[in-house]
A and B are shown apart, each in its own frame.
Chain A
Amino acid sequence: MTPDNSASLDIDTDSTPARLRLSGRLDAEHCADLWPRARAAMTQGAVVDTSAVDYCDGTGAALLFDLIQRGGTVEGLPERFAPLLAELEPDHPLIIPRRPPPPGVIATLGRVVAEVTLEARAAIVFIGEASAAFASVMRRPRELRLGETLRVATSAGADALPIVALIAFLLGVILSFQSAVPMRQFGAELFVANLVGLSLVRELAPLMTAVLLAGRTGAAFAAEIGTMKVNQEIDALVTMGLDPMRFLVLPRLIAVACTMPLLTLFAELIGMFGAALVLIGFGIPMATSASQIIDFVDMSDYLTGLFKSFVFGLGIAGIGCMRGLQTGSGARAVGAAATSADVRAIVMLVVADGLFAVAFYYLDW
């Protein structure tokens, strides 16, 4: 006899047919050890003696099912456990649907091409619909949801000031410090202000602000609109005759396109302030740094940076809204939409920045 709270398996392979004797408690806790041994010892026609089983639950019954399916015959199962085993229909093998084979290289390539094509088509359709909605609002400005636009502008713009300030300040500090040390060897630390000022205005402030906005606002748009899609709020808008493009997307596009240049300008000023603070440590007064920047960075540089930030803002908001509207069903889809919006926005920023660099070079801006 086994103790009350244990189970045991005795295997007699000398007899014909082989005999497996299970005893004690057949539950998840006690089956764990003996199940692999029973499985390994099982032969066609083996007898599984269960007359000494004190307790059997669903897991124990699953063990007996497994042994029956491997050709065993269960004998002596106490009557009170028989219905449990019968419930599992041990005479019927499990139906395990055959999984389709993984697609081949050509099929995978075809699917990727199809996905990219559909994605490009969806982007073109989205841009077209957004432009049409914008044109409609231009004709009838009252159609724009001004309250919602201001709410989004506050959330995407004013609420982002602290994080933008922190990153821009650190960017200015790091950039000036890293360049001041080597330039000091040539006695050229005065020109660090020119370097930092121009880099911030033309490149770094628009790009860093856009990266922050992509993570903070673009993903939030995708999650917000995606949740609305999952909750059928988008369907409700459509059936009420309200265009989601005008109702949801346009306020976000306008709000971000307007706030993004302002945020960039703010980031430029804070970054320059950080750089000027570092240069004080190198014996250059703040007024001198300011004067260097004012003289060296002209209006076209500012306008170039602000134009880029305007385009970046439109792109980030557009991608966030588009991914939100494309959300599938379930909580996982919302997360996937937010992640996708973030990643695509950053890819878009890098590509667009590269294109701007080439274009401005040829335009001599």
Chain B
Amino acid sequence: MDATVPSPIVATPTAEPLVRVENLTCAYGRNVVLRDVSFDVPRGEVLTILGGSGCGKSTLLKHMIGLEQPAQGRIWLAGEELTAAEGAARRRILASFGVAYQAGALFGSMTVLENVMLPLAAHSHLDLPARELVARLKLREVGLEQYADYAPAELSGGMQKRAAIARALALDPAILFLDEPSAGLDPITSAELDALILRLSRALSLTFIVVTHELASIFAIADRALMLDKQEKGIIAVGKPQDLRDHHPDPRVTRFFRRGEETQV
């Protein structure tokens, strides 16, 4: 191992993790973004991945949802190894989690309802009335029941993100990945989205992995926060957000959290 690279901080492994990342190294060509990252996420936890710009938050997310292949390391989702899976096994793993992208990524040529029905059509054998009912109920869960027949472009930014969550929930995944859910939203809409995440987490026992750098959201929703750093190319802190803010010895961590307090004041 490179002597200049400090030993990676390994998040405490849990007995039955729903998500396990083991010695993950992410690189684009020769550019190593993350090196030797390991952590576990237990069932039902809301984990936020945070850090400054360019620290590798989105890169880590892309690797965890299978959009990028790691240079090294392995990722398990719901007990199955994503990094080694191919064909039908990979499709099964991909159906076990949902992703809500930063800009919503709703298909503009479909209505909101059709967007939510799409994964059901692709991965289930439910008939059309059943698919429509399931999709409408998912929209009810996120508070968009009355907007089912709207085009995505007719919705506000916050509504589009909620619709994206409804689509991610369509197949009742055990894990939900959210990429910057609060980005571009006003504080009230952002708080409403946080409340939705908490409610879904509790009611459906969902595991959330949320990439964000919005401190208000982190304190509102996170059971644990995992902080990445650009220089270290890895995790520099893991724990409850309040503990990281108040007791962490690394000044980079406390500065990140306390700057948030200053801005809140």
Give A residues with C-beta under 8 Å from B: 27-29, 31-33, 35-36, 39, 57-59, 61-63, 65-66, 83-84, 87-89, 94-97, 99, 329-332
Contact = CB atoms under 8 A, between A and B. Distances in A.
B203 A84 contact: yes
A62 B137 contact: yes
Contacts of B126: 28, 31-32, 35, 59
B246 interface: no
Contacts of A61: 137
B213 interface: no
Contact of A330 (B129, B140, B153): B153
Contact of A59 (B129, B134, B136, B149): B134
B123 A88 contact: no
B124 interface: yes
A287 to B, nearest CB: 58
A57 B140 CA distance: 16
Interface residues of B, number: 28
B165 interface: no
- What does DSSP make chain B's interface, helix, strand, loop or mixed? helix
Contacts of A88: 137, 140-141
Interface string B135-174: 0111011000110110011000000000000000101100
Given A62-B130, A94-B136, A32 B124 contact: yes
A59 B172 contact: yes
Nearest to A329: B153
B59 to A, nearest CB: 24
A28, A66, A330: residue with the most chain B Cβ atoms closer than 10 Å = A28
B134 A62 contact: yes
6 contacts: A27-B172, A28-B123, A28-B171, A57-B172, A96-B136, A97-B148
Given A62-B134, A94-B145, 11 more contacts: A28-B124, A28-B171, A58-B138, A88-B140, A94-B140, A96-B148, A97-B148, A97-B149, A329-B153, A330-B108, A331-B108
B203 to A, nearest CB: 5
B127 A35 contact: yes
A119 to B, nearest CB: 22
A58 B137 CA distance: 9
Question: Closest 8 CB pairs between A and B?
Answer: A32-B125, A57-B172, A28-B124, A58-B172, A332-B108, A330-B108, A62-B134, A87-B203
Interface in B105-126: 108-109, 120, 123-126
A34 B166 CA distance: 24
A59 B124 CA distance: 10
Contacts of A36: 127, 130
B204 A84 contact: yes
Contacts of A329: 153
Contacts of B133: 62, 65-66, 94
B121 to A, nearest CB: 11
A87 B120 contact: no
A223 to B, nearest CB: 16
Contacts of B169: 58
- Give the dominant DSSP class at A's interface: helix
A29 B134 CA distance: 13
Contacts of B204: 58, 84, 87
Contacts of A95: 145-146
Nearest to A58: B172
Contacts of B124: 28-29, 32, 59
B118 to A, nearest CB: 14
B137 A63 contact: no
Contacts of A330: 108, 152-153
A300 B226 CA distance: 77
Contacts of A63: 130
A99 B149 contact: yes
A349 to B, nearest CB: 29
B141 to A, nearest CB: 6
Nearest to B123: A28
A269 B127 CA distance: 62
A106 B171 CA distance: 44
A255 to B, nearest CB: 32
Contact of A28 (B120, B136, B137, B149): B120
A95 B143 CA distance: 11
Nearest to A89: B140
B145 A65 contact: no
A246 to B, nearest CB: 30
A83 B202 CA distance: 10
B140 to A, nearest CB: 7
Contacts of A58: 134, 137-138, 169, 172, 204
A65 B136 CA distance: 12
Contacts of A28: 120, 123-124, 126, 134, 171-172
Contacts of B123: 28
Interface in B160-204: 169, 171-172, 203-204
A59 B169 CA distance: 10
Nearest to B126: A32
Nearest to B171: A28
Contacts of A33: 125
A330 B127 CA distance: 31
A36 B137 CA distance: 18
Contacts of B138: 58
Contacts of B136: 94, 96
Nearest to B170: A58
